[in-house]
Amino acid sequence: MTKLTLNITLLLLLSLTLPSCTVKQNYPVPWRGVHVLMTDQSKTEQLTQVVGELAELGVNALIVEVNYGYEYQSHPELRANNPSSAARIKALVNQCRRHNIRLIPQFQCLGHQSWSKSTFPLLTQYPEFDETPGAYPGNEDIYCRSWCPRHPEVNKIVFALMDELIDVFQADALHVGLDEVFLIGEDQCPRCKGMDKAELFAKAVNDYHRHLVGKHKIEMLMWGDRLIDANKINYGRWEASANNTAPAVDLIPKDIIICDWHYELRDAYESVPMFLEKGFRVWPAGWRNLEAAKAFINYSRQFDNPRILGHLNTTWGAVPINKLTSFEPLLYAVSSFRTKDK
C-alpha cells in the first residue's frame, strides 16, 4: 500500500467516524432561502428592516455572510471596517425569530481571503497563515488568497471567531464557505507542498465539521463546487474543481449540507443527483440569471427527494438588500417551493 493510498484510506475511515449532527434533520417545509453579504453594520441594519417583508414573501431561511464584519472580542485585530455590534446582530436575530426565519451565519473558510489588491484581516494580521507566503505581491496573477489548512495555529483563531458568531446569532448552523479554493497544496507552502489536494481539502472540511457538529452539535453547510470533478461534469473551473480537490467528496461526513451553486443556463445540473447518490442533503443555489434560475429550480424539483431542501438565492451585490422582495429569481423560487407547504 502506497503512502497516498494509506492517507486516503485513513481520511475515509475518519470521515465515517466523525460525530454526526444531533439537530433534527426532518425538514417537511422547503427551505426558501436568500444568501446576502452582511460584512458591515450598515448591511445588518438594512437586512433587519426588511425581514418582515421577506417573511411575507415566503422566505424562511437567511444565510448571512459575516466573515470579518463583526466586533470580535477574542481577536479584535480581525475586525473589518464598520463591523456589526452584538446589539445590531441581536436585533436581527429577534426580527428573524419573530417572523419564523432561520438565520444562519457564514464565515468564509480557507479561500477568498483577499479580493483584488486587498488582503483580508486574517492574512494581513497573520501572514504566516498564507498558503503562498511572500508570493503574488499585490495579489497579482491570483483570484483570491487562501490560508494554509495545515498551519498548526490557524484553526485556533478561526474557531474562536466561529464560536463568537454561534453565540451572538444563537445559531443552530454555520456555513463555512469553501468555494473557489484555487490555492491549496501549493509549492510555496512548506507544510502543503507535494501533498494531495483532495486530502488537504478534506482535512479542512473535517476539522470544521469536528468543531461545529462534534463540539457545538449544530449543522454545517458549505458550497459544493470543490467537490465536483470538472473532468466528469462540464461546469468549468469555477463551478467545479479542476485542481484535483473533487475526490474529497468521499472523505467527508454525509451530514454536511451541500449548497450546490450554479448560475448558467443548462439542460441538466448533474451535480444534484451526484450529491444525492452520495448521501448528502442538497440546497441548490442560483443567482441573477432568471432563465438559469428557473431551469435549475425545475431540474432539482424533478427528483422529489426529501434531501433536496429547497432553493437558495444568492445575491452577491446584484440586488440591494432593500430591493430583495422584487428580485425575480427569488420570486420564482419562493412560488415554486411554496406549493409544497400544503
pLDDT of the residue at 182: 97
Average pLDDT over residues 206-217: 98
Q: How many domains does the chain have?
A: 1
Query: Is 217 part of a structural domain of the chain?
Result: yes
Q: What is residue 134's DSSP assignment? A: T
Q: What phi and psi, each to the nearest 5 degrees, are found at residue 176?
A: -105, 10
- The answer to whether residue 24 scores a pLDDT higher than 90 is no
Q: Is residue 61 part of a domain?
A: yes
Residue 14 CB neighbour total at 10 angstroms:
16
Q: What percent of the chain has pLDDT over 90?
A: 89
Task: Show the domain range for 337.
Answer: 34-341
Residue 100 is predicted with a pLDDT of: 97
pLDDT recorded at residue 26: 46
Residue 95: CATH number of its domain = 3.20.20.80
Mean pLDDT of 130-143: 96
Residue 19 placed within a domain: no
Confidence bin at 7 (pLDDT 50/70/90): very low
Is residue 25 over pLDDT 50? no
Q: In this structure, are residues 272 and 225 in contact, taking their beta carbons and an 8 Å threshold?
A: no
Mean per-residue pLDDT for 239-267?
98
Domain membership flag for residue 10: no
Give the model's pLDDT for residue 22: 40
In this prediction, residue 16 carries a pLDDT of: 45
User: Which H or E run includes 204?
Assistant: helix 197-209
Grid coordinates belonging to 48: 433587519
Pairing relationship of beta strands 257-259 and 219-223 according to DSSP bridges? parallel
Question: Once rounded to an integer, what is the mean pLDDT over residues 55-66?
Answer: 98
Q: Find the mean pLDDT for residues 140-149.
A: 97
| Structural domain contains residue 112 | yes
Tell me whether residue 1 is in a domain. Answer: no
In a domain, 78, yes or no: yes
Q: Is there a domain that residue 24 lies in?
A: no
pLDDT reading at 104 higher than 80:
yes
Tell me 33's DSSP state.
Answer: E
Which residue spans within the chain are E strands per DSSP? 31-37, 61-65, 102-109, 114-115, 118-119, 173-177, 219-223, 257-259, 281-282, 285-286, 310-314
Q: Is the pLDDT of residue 225 over 80?
A: yes
Q: Inform me whether the pLDDT recorded for 183 exceeds 70.
A: yes
What pLDDT, on a 0 to 100 scale, did the predictor assign at position 304? 84
pLDDT value at position 339? Answer: 59
- pLDDT score of 333: 97
Q: Give the mean model confidence (pLDDT) for residues 128-147.
A: 96
Answer whether residue 245 shows pLDDT above 60.
yes
Reported as a single tens digit per residue, the pLDDT across 35-45 is 999 999 999 99
Q: Are 110 and 178 contacting, i.e. CB atoms less than 8 angstroms apart?
A: yes
What per-residue confidence (pLDDT) applies to 11? Answer: 46
For the stretch 324-335, pLDDT in tens is: 999 999 999 999
Q: Is the pLDDT of residue 23 over 60?
A: no
pLDDT in tens, 280-307: 999 999 999 999 999 999 999 999 899 9
Look at residue 248 and tell me whether its pLDDT is greater than 90. yes
Average pLDDT, the chain: 92
Whether the per-residue pLDDT at 338 is higher than 80: the answer is no
